Structure 1
Amino acid sequence: MRNFVNFQTDLLRTFVSVIDLGAFTKAGDALGRTQPAVSLQIRRLEELVGAPIIKQVGRALVLTGEGEILLSYAREILRLNDEAGSYFNRSKIAGVLRVGLPNDYAVAFLQGLITEYTRQHSDISLELHCGWSAEILDRLRSDELDLAVAMVNNEQSQYLSRSWIERPIWAAAENATFDPLLGIPLAAHPEGCAYRARMIQALDNAQIRWRVAYTGSGISGLQNAVINGLGVSALTHYTMLPGMRALDERDGFPPLAEIRVGLFYKHPRLSDAGIGLVNHVIARLDEAGVSPVAMNRVELVRQ
């Protein structure tokens, strides 16, 4: 008979709270426990894992390799546990949900997922905030948002629950033709956009001249610029529209570097409505065949 290790949810909740809130004292305040009690629970988890999961480097708390792996499992276990608890307690899904979406990604696709969920729960008041990924994550960190979708980089993966890879697509109007000698006209978001940076990097590396022919922060404006032949752009398969065609190396366009996109939230701060939305988004991503990728190392500054 196998000897199973039982990771108790209260231990995992304490662990995730320490990570998401950035300090043992803040985790204790959120959970109604003293700091020594929080430390004891972390030590208990380390006994179950058989290795340290958090280490202190100066004033910073840093996840160990085993801690990174445990964090990924802990988020999933708590997400499912809290979903089940909400169902069997018949908790009323209500309240305000503040969601941040990036300008430079498939906002329309994500908006569709979110509004589908809120239509199923009429007592939810939805607030959508669009901006650049760095701004969205700053607002989540400041508790101005409950949930965020943003571009992931190795330095900013705190609060990351699920991430996936997108390969941008060169998009142009169906009948558009371009003369590389005159420079490729680009339709792009303003500077700071990950897709804009990848277009420029790819063209520069291939020594292809380019110029920015259209700049706009909204995805619909970018799509219209492409369809009207003002320029080419980098889109995802979610944001390709009728009247567009994809370009590749056969058309003289170099491959675009992939982008990692993530779902971020602070589990201790999330309501039943928020947990429900997280589960809804993850289920729809799974249905669409979007495979998750592993989390990177997270560093947390003790506050």
Structure 2
Amino acid sequence: MSAPLDIDQLHTFLAIVDTGSFTKAADRVFKTQSAVSMQMRRLEERIGKQLFAKDGRGNRLTAEGEKLLNYARRIIRLNNEAIAAFDDNRLEGTLRIGTPDDYADRYMPEIIGRFAKTHPNVELYIVCEPSVSLAEKMARGELDIALVTHNPRQRISDVVRTEPLCWVGSANHPLKDDAPVPLAVGRRDCLWRQLACSALDADGREYQVLFTSWSSTVVAAAVLAGMAVSVLPESALRPGMKVLTAADGFPPLPPVQIGLMKRPGLSPSLMNAITDHITACLDNISPAVIPDDLDGEVKAFPRLARARAGQAMTGW
């Protein structure tokens, strides 16, 4: 009989994928970098396939690594659920969670549902505000956990998801070619807004901010009505939206990252439980259907599997 996969090695494997590097993964799993490398060599020996390939100064998943990724997520999730099911010391108390309303719309239903089912005695208190406001609340100790847009300049959150950022417009209302780009975006401190404006400035493309709101519903409504263009992560495309590419005169955008902030002093059992649930749920989010002309951009994100036609996701 073949030897089973090692749970600890799979944890480390997922940490490398989530953080994007062996060095950052070592910090997350509390191991030395050499220990992380050794674990991956042993995992590759166990699988009999190469899981990572050199890509410049970093590493990327091979096709076999992508195949293992899905199994690893499921194995870890089931392992955690099994342990929780037989834990006589049931978690209790209140967990204060912060999230922007676009993430609440998109990710929180599964996170809340899965967590409440496993830990029915924990009260969840949810606050919906922009990422900047949530970071301030975390600093004041008013929240325990916050799901935010990760700002690489500040590095105050741990990255739990990375995906392409796309220009989007209405599929039914084409833009006027000779007019400045009409934008519907978040407030001035919104990172997505800053990325969009910086890209247009660098490209010499004229634009005008017509709609400003921290509400994803308002911004999406402006886009779907054909009144403005906005930027969205790939997984958040809605039916009726069109991805705008270089062929439409729009410059490329850098990827966006979702980060997790944790309050120091939070009960380790509560922290581990909600962190595991959030990570597992984010990994289950499928990207929307993307046109073929985006293939060049999406190849940089091999871990984002394609959804089948008709499975466009309905959240921001």
| TM-score normalised according to structure 2 size | 0.61
Change (3 A) 1:224 1:289: closer
Contact 1:165 1:260 in 2 (8 A): yes
Residue 72 of structure 1: aligned partner: 28
Contact 2:150 2:159 in 1 (8 A): no
For 1:203, the aligned partner's letter is L
Residue 40 of structure 1: aligned partner: none
Q: Deviations over 1:107-156 (max 9, x none)?
A: 32222232223441433322222223232122223221111112223453
**Cα distance in 2 between the residues matched to 1:219 and 1:237:** 15
* Equivalenced residues, count: 225
SS, match of residue 124 in structure 2: strand
- Report deviation, 1:88: 5.0
Change (3 A) 1:247 1:280: same
User: Which of 210, 215, 218 is 1:218 aligned to?
Assistant: 215
**Cα distance in 2 between the residues matched to 1:198 and 1:212:** 14
Residue 129 of structure 1: aligned partner: 127
Matched, 1:242 2:239: yes
**Cα distance in 1 between the residues matched to 2:160 and 2:197:** 25
Residue 150 of structure 2: aligned partner: 152
For 2:125, the aligned partner's letter is E
Contact 2:233 2:256 in 1 (8 A): no
Residue 249 of structure 2: aligned partner: 252
**Cα distance in 2 between the residues matched to 1:251 and 1:69:** 39
For 2:235, the aligned partner's letter is Y
- Report deviation, 1:161: 4.0
Matched, 1:172 2:128: no
SS, match of residue 269 in structure 1: coil
SS, match of residue 122 in structure 1: coil
Contact 1:167 1:259 in 2 (8 A): yes
| TM-score normalised according to structure 1 size | 0.63
SS, match of residue 74 in structure 1: coil
Change (3 A) 1:86 1:271: farther
Q: After the TM superposition, which residues 89-108 of structure 1 pair with which residues of structure 2 at under 5 Å, given as runs? A: 89-102=87-100, 106-108=103-105
SS, match of residue 90 in structure 2: coil
SS, match of residue 209 in structure 2: strand
Change (3 A) 1:229 1:125: same
Q: Deviations over 1:229-275 (max 9, x none)?
A: 11011012332211111111111111112223211213641363443
For 1:205, the aligned partner's letter is A
Residue 276 of structure 2: aligned partner: 279
Contact 1:83 1:276 in 2 (8 A): no
SS, match of residue 137 in structure 1: helix
**Cα distance in 1 between the residues matched to 2:155 and 2:234:** 25
SS, match of residue 178 in structure 2: helix
SS, match of residue 127 in structure 2: strand
User: What fraction of aligned residue pairs are identical, expressed as a percent?
Assistant: 25
- Mark the runs of 5 or more structure 2 residues left unpaired by the alignment: 1-21, 32-75, 288-300, 302-316
Matched, 1:201 2:198: yes
Residue 259 of structure 2: aligned partner: 262
Q: Deviations over 1:183-235 (max 9, x none)?
A: 11111111111111111111111111111121211111111111111101101
Residue 110 of structure 1: aligned partner: 107
SS, match of residue 214 in structure 2: coil
Change (3 A) 1:82 1:155: farther
Q: Deviations over 1:3-38 (max 9, x none)?
A: xxxxxxxxxxxxxxxxxxxxxxxxxxxxxxxxxxxx
**Cα distance in 2 between the residues matched to 1:176 and 1:269:** 49
Residue 298 of structure 1: aligned partner: none
**Cα distance in 1 between the residues matched to 2:239 and 2:81:** 38
